[in-house]
Amino acid sequence: MHNATARSSRVLLMVIAVAALITVVAARRSHAAGAAPAVKKAAPAQKAPAKTKAALPQPVPAKEALKEMVEGEDVRDFRVFCDSWMQKLRDRDSYNVAHIAWEKGGDGGVGGEYISYGTDRTCSAREEPGKDPIGKITYREIRYRRQGATPTAAMSGGGTIVEQTDVTEIFRYGKGRWQY
């Protein structure tokens, strides 16, 4: 009989230990998942705010609001910035074509080179807690050569690709805007 009592006491102790372990693990998981702790500290007494027509939520600083990494074109409206950047490249492309420095060739004709920009692009941005957001734009830069008897004749024909370069530009978000 003594053996049976000792065995049931050990089983009871094991059940209590397992229950305690499950409670500890559950508490750690809920704490790691961001659940509120079981015991809360009393909030300091605050003055009641003056009543207004519409209570507006107070803005939270970006570094405090961000709890995990965010990635994609929508980070801090990077897509809008990316589109405006690519428009600047299209404007530069038009300027480059209109201002080719023509050189006389040995055959009496002219030739000139200019830089153009591809229309394919990728835009991505990334924001991590406690760090400035970073954006990246990639596109292709193409150097063309045009030749002909005159500048007008050279522009009427197709240009020859002399060189192609993939470009990656990196931008930082600071002071409320994307900086370059």
Is it the case that residue 168 has pLDDT exceeding 90?
A: yes
Is it the case that residue 175 has pLDDT exceeding 80?
A: yes
| Predicted local confidence at residue 39, as pLDDT | 42
Torsion angle of the four alpha carbons 57, 63, 67, 68, in this order, in degrees rounded to the nearest 10: 130
User: Where do the H-state alpha helices sit in the chain?
Assistant: 2-32, 62-65, 78-98, 151-156
Residues 6+ apart with CB under 8 A from 147: 105, 109, 110, 111, 154, 157, 160
| Per-residue pLDDT tens over the stretch 33-86 | 554 444 444 455 555 555 555 566 666 565 555 678 898 888 999 999 999 999
